[in-house]
Chains A and B, each alone.
Chain A
Amino acid sequence: MEQISNVQNRKGSYKPIVTKPISAEEITKREYKYGFVTDIESEKAPKSLNEDIVRFISKKKGEPEWLLEWRLKSYRYWLENFEKDSEPTWANLSYPKIDFQDICYYSAPKKKKTLNSLDEVDPEILRTYEKLGISLNEQKTLSGVAVDAVFDSVSIGTTFKKELAKAGVIFCPISEAVQKYPDLVQKYLGSVVPYTDNFYATLNSAVFSDGSFVYIPKNVECPLELSTYFRINEADTGQFERTLIIADKGSKVSYLEGCTAPMRDKNQLHAAVVELIALDDAQIKYSTVQNWYPGNSEGKGGIYNFVTKRGKCKGKNSKISWTQLETGSAITWKYPSCILQGDNSVGEFYSVAVTNGMQQADTGTKMIHIGKNTSSTIISKGISAGNSRNTYRGLVRVQPTADNARNYSQCDSLLIGGSCGASTVPYIEAKNRSSNIEHEATTSKISEDQLYYCMQRGMSEEDAISIIVNGFCKEVLKELPMEFAIEAKALLSVSLQGAIG
């Protein structure tokens, strides 16, 4: 995020638009149905952060020397920045200072030996995923989605491994990839998000525990949708996963990511890093449905979601597309970005961010145009209800080399009730005269007339809000893969339950 942090923070002013009076009690009705805790034995590192913890994690994973060195370099860099007090503060977010020593950086479900198949996974964990609606049992999975499930700090199982192997696709926990494909990992890890990138990415580089690794070979179209499901279970545990996806020349992959966590009174930190690399003519589509526990109506508890996601269109004619539906987390700080390095490469960002209650979101994207004839599209839909804050922050940068770069940005905000706020903070830097950048922004509210009209046709107030919000988000929702689109619609309705009194 350094590009953005260098620019002075222009906080948008809040102009809440009043539709009708709404009391705090009425917003509390929202339900978080994933808030249960799974009772399993786990192996944890003591709460604290120092070089020993970094070495402990690396040793647990049996990592090679170069990776330990990289982690330590990252940790030292982080410490330097921590001592300089250089935690990013430019976002339109407010939260108490995080005590980084009061977090457990490693927690793994206890197991006796290495897992060879899903049959050896603790049945309690499998039941958890079943409760979440994710079947890890390959026979039962009909939809043809390969799932990697990450429970606290470790990946507990990947489905459809054999079928993927037939196509030459590698889809496995990143800790496994470090062992089996060290050359690929070493070549690309940190190549898009260097360990020096930003405060939380640096922290992640030092203590990341697991995550998914994907490699799609040349000219292969991945036969299945790939999916990772992240679950934080342990209390006082941070989740620091690292995902690395490499699409080799002419390949194509669609990747889905989902997240939930139990309801806990204390805030939990989630600081992930996702790196995507698309070589010549490759395409990566990355979709997220983020539903971390958002905290209660008074703003107690919930996940701090401080995530760095970035893709590099390294080769010519490559394409990276981010689609996200952000409904959870107490705080979201997230800017999935594209570096458009290859000529004719394409970057896309489709986002719906919903905040309700006391949630805060500062999210958007960065499109960095470097290659010739690169183009990017940004469609962002922010929905604020309750007492929440929702900020779109985006950067479009056209480097001098990027002849004929094009960008189209559209940022729409929808306000529900009179106590929420929405801001749009676009940064545009064009250093090439031939570039063409368009930016549109609107702020609207669900009008009483719209609700009246829908309700006169028999819909309840909540159904009316739901249909209006779904209409508002349509351009983004249609970008989600089928399996996710239905879940996304349902999630939108749940997130906005009780949003209007």
Chain B
Amino acid sequence: MLQVKNISCKIGDKEILKGLSLNINPGEVHAIMGPNGTGKSTLSHLLAGKSGYEITSGEILFEENNLLEQSIDERAKAGLFLGFQYPIEIPGVSCMNFLKAAVNTVRKSHGKNEMDSLEFLKKVRQEAKKLDLDDSMLKRSVNQGFSGGEKKRFEVLQMSLLEPKLAILDETDSGLDIDSLKNIGEAINLLRSPERSFLIITHYQRLLNHIKPDVIHILNGGRIVSSGGFEMVEKLELEGYRAFGIDQDVEVD
């Protein structure tokens, strides 16, 4: 599904990723952990297509296509979703209108009909309920005045409705209380399928306990330094990054 081959990139003069490789097959859930400032968010934005990154080497294939040649919206339409670490406010645009515009654009690009308003409303309510999101929120402006937890849950709601092939969740678990964390973990589990893959970027074991990823990667200095199964998470929580030869204290947000 996703093949990142030896990718290096920089912002300005600063090299961020240094020969990173990553392979995600359909249906797999991968988690990336690592100290702050090692390139985790850069990787997610690079995959989504944010401008400002200069790629110095390597290539990325998404469903056999050259991802780096595609625009942001082409990638989104192809089924790549990014749950933002810091979701953006859009004043005056209601969540409902935003969701409808997004879902219908993606449907249209796949040759499907636009969903009619009633059908769509029903679907949104049903998904929102799973996340314990109140209906009244759908009338508010996108992310405006949302609490940290509401913002993250709205990201997951968008993911549920857009039904992506690959969902990248950038620190979706930070700033969440225990209940929200459980909600979000359950919502993600419900979306798991043999065709859908996840890339979860996190600092903590908490969310991973709910999700139980297939593969854990440790990112440091712009490349993956260690990969393995879920047991790595436990080791990390007990011994810190030193257990993986990283001479740096774990920074917590």
A473-B158 in contact (CB<8A): no
Q: Mark B56-77, 1 if CB is under 8 A from A, else 0.
A: 0000000000000001110111
B72-A463 in contact (CB<8A): no
Q: Mark B189-221, 1 if CB is under 8 A from A, else 0.
A: 000000000000000000000000000000000
Chain A minimum-CB-distance residue to B141: A471
B51 sits at the interface (CB 8 A): yes
B98 sits at the interface (CB 8 A): yes
Q: Which residues of A contact B73 (CB under 8 A)?
A: 455-456, 458-461
A455-B162 in contact (CB<8A): no
Q: Which of A20, A458, A470, A474 neighbours the largest number of chain B CB atoms within 10 Å of its CB?
A: A458
A448-B51, A453-B87, A458-B109 given; A467·B98 CB < 8 A: yes
Chain B minimum-CB-distance residue to A451: B72
B50-A457 in contact (CB<8A): no
Q: Which residues of A contact B90 (CB under 8 A)?
A: 450, 453-454, 467-468, 471
B111 sits at the interface (CB 8 A): no
A468-B93, A472-B91 given; A458·B51 CB < 8 A: no
A449 sits at the interface (CB 8 A): yes
Q: What total of A-B pairs shows CB separation below 8 Å?
A: 77
Chain A minimum-CB-distance residue to B91: A471
A457-B162 in contact (CB<8A): yes
B25 sits at the interface (CB 8 A): no
A452 sits at the interface (CB 8 A): yes
A452-B50, A459-B105 given; A471·B92 CB < 8 A: yes
B48 sits at the interface (CB 8 A): yes
B92-A472 in contact (CB<8A): yes
Which residues of A in the span 211-242 have a Cβ within 8 Å of any Cβ on B?
none
Question: Could you say which of A20, A452, A471 contacts B72, with CB atoms under 8 Å apart?
Answer: A452
Question: Could you say which of A20, A461, A467, A472 contacts B101, with CB atoms under 8 Å apart?
Answer: A467
CA distance A467 to B95 in the complex (A): 12
CA distance A471 to B144 in the complex (A): 12
Chain B minimum-CB-distance residue to A452: B50
Q: Which residues of B contact A456 (CB under 8 A)?
A: 48-49, 72-73, 75-76, 81-82, 84
CA distance A448 to B98 in the complex (A): 17
B102 sits at the interface (CB 8 A): yes
Q: Mark B134-154, 1 if CB is under 8 A from A, else 0.
A: 000000010000000000000
B106 sits at the interface (CB 8 A): yes
Nearest CB of A to B156, in Å? 13
Nearest CB of B to A67, in Å? 47
Q: Which residues of A contact B91 (CB under 8 A)?
A: 471-472
Q: Which residues of A contact B81 (CB under 8 A)?
A: 456
B101-A463 in contact (CB<8A): yes
B76-A457 in contact (CB<8A): yes
Q: Which residues of B contact A453 (CB under 8 A)?
A: 84, 87-88, 90
B97 sits at the interface (CB 8 A): yes
Known: A457-B162, A471-B93. 9 other contacts (CB 8 A): A455-B49, A456-B72, A456-B73, A458-B73, A458-B77, A458-B102, A467-B93, A471-B92, A472-B91
Q: Which residues of B contact A (CB under 8 A)?
A: 48-51, 71-73, 75-77, 81-82, 84, 87-88, 90-93, 97-98, 101-102, 105-106, 109, 141, 158, 162
19 A-B residue pairings within 8 Å (CB atoms): A449-B88, A450-B88, A452-B72, A453-B87, A454-B90, A455-B49, A455-B76, A456-B72, A456-B73, A457-B98, A457-B101, A457-B162, A458-B109, A459-B105, A460-B73, A463-B105, A467-B98, A468-B93, A471-B141
Q: Which residues of A contact B (CB under 8 A)?
A: 20, 447-450, 452-461, 463, 467-468, 470-475
